[in-house]
Structure 1
């Protein structure tokens, strides 16, 4: 089964880029990926790894689950049970959609969460109760925010088959990539956190700064697919490296890009980019 979005919420899952990502894979890798390895090095929701395996089924696809998304998938039934409890109580309280919760209403939902005996998916909870664009990764952070009725109307679908035949590892990308970068038939799929922006949707929200970015760029070589945004100045960085012939500049000459305009909310609009080079 092909998923057009990740089964559970994850900010920055690149669902709007999937058709372009598939197009790039099909145009540059033949024989359904036979003999190729594709590494989703900053795996996030696993949607890129899933799409790569569906598009090139003969390729070896590796999903680096650094943010623990597979743990969330394993408890999707608990997440659906908790969603139903909160949804029904909000209905009983007659809280309108997108309406902020008053203290008494919030207190009742807090009790439901505290008393729930199953797995508590903080990212999903945040998507149900926080204003658009806000992200937390700890329950304590969630309870300190203002809450709104943003909860989805239906249960999450089953994740059966989502990561079938995908290899799952959990390593820092800086440790993982050196094992593969010397092979010409390894495609690096890179969707790191954006430098100098909030990284609250990532489990370790301070793990990817400027030094980590430069360390990553020192090993990137074709073929690669790199996702970025005008919020991170990645294209300006590439152009600077090429223009001034910084060390390794040849690896990025004649890169190509696909751009789309997107937004987190009505106040936050920007350009997302898929940057790639195969030769």
Structure 2
């Protein structure tokens, strides 16, 4: 089957809307691994983005292997957020009218903060809390409600330009919303099913479950029971996975036989001048 006979999205190098941990720095390596192990256009293969996040990996997988079935597990409701890009751009313009002359990356004072809150309260369109958080909260913080936002320290980190509306971002991708422990078993016995894992770190708040639960050790251990080749697993030195894999190699030969003997690609990430860590892409196809 040739690419001209299948529908695929335009290739994206970053997610259209803000999302923490979208793996954009791994995309070239991710595509390289797919090309090395999945022939041609991917006909007969299924690729499951188990913790789909922003859908960026699904977008790249479907573009590169358009004949494959690509499943984006959209537990973060990202596809719904994409429907409201126009509203986010309108709200940005209204906030820019207030903040255009205010110093960037600085705390809003007692005079400007009420004006910003009034703009939000009077806005009649859809409000994306993740977008609003990146514009008005300190880096890395996220408000789950407007009331929480209003009582927080607000900063001028407003985006300078509108978001681009990418209509075909998920073209040809199957969008589902299921827990990993119900999704994976549906494909467990299919040899040409690639499982792509990018789970939350243990004991961190989990956006994939509407931010109501934590991804704890039990959830992590349960997830690892489903890992089998072919798989691609994203992790880092800040996560529990490297230590867990070391444990399996030394103490659980049966699990190591199923999960181990993988290859690792690492990228160094610099948090600040005194602190760094490594992100990993671990994969095994046989």
TM-score band w.r.t. shorter chain: over 0.9
Query: Partner residue of 1:60?
Result: 69
The yes-or-no answer on 1:81 pairing with 2:90 is yes
Query: Partner residue of 1:125?
Result: 132
CA contact (8 A) 2:204 2:214 kept: no
Distance 1:24 1:101 in 2: 46
Deviates more, 1:234-243 or 1:71-80: 234-243
Distance 1:252 1:119 in 2: 43
Query: Partner residue of 2:5?
Result: none
Distance 1:76 1:263 in 2: 31
For 1:1-279, what aligned pairs fall within 5 Å after superposition?
1-91=10-100, 94-199=101-206, 203-245=210-252, 247-263=254-270, 269-279=276-286
CA contact (8 A) 2:108 2:155 kept: yes
Query: Partner residue of 2:7?
Result: none
Shift of 1:239: 1.6
CA contact (8 A) 1:196 1:232 kept: no
Deviates more, 1:124-133 or 1:204-213: 204-213
Instruction: Structure 1: state its 5+ residue gaps.
Output: none
Distance 1:207 1:47 in 2: 23
Shift of 1:207: 4.2
CA contact (8 A) 2:51 2:208 kept: no
Deviates more, 1:238-247 or 1:18-27: 238-247
Distance 1:139 1:259 in 2: 38
Distance 2:145 2:226 in 1: 33
Task: Encode CA deviations 1:27-75: one digit per residue, 9 max, x unaligned.
Answer: 1110211100000011110001001001111110000100100111011
Distance 2:174 2:111 in 1: 46
Distance 1:190 1:227 in 2: 6
- TM-score of the superposed pair, with normalisation by structure 2: 0.92
List structure 1 segments (4+ residues) > 3 angstroms apart after TM superposition.
197-202, 263-269
Counting matched residue pairs gives: 277
Partner SS for 1:120: coil
CA contact (8 A) 2:73 2:175 kept: yes
Distance 1:160 1:29 in 2: 27
Partner SS for 2:41: helix
Task: Encode CA deviations 1:64-103: one digit per residue, 9 max, x unaligned.
Answer: 1001001110111001100111112101xx2111111012
Instruction: Structure 2: state its 5+ residue gaps.
Output: 1-9
Partner SS for 1:211: helix
- TM-score of the superposed pair, with normalisation by structure 1: 0.94
Distance 2:86 2:147 in 1: 23
CA contact (8 A) 2:269 2:277 kept: yes
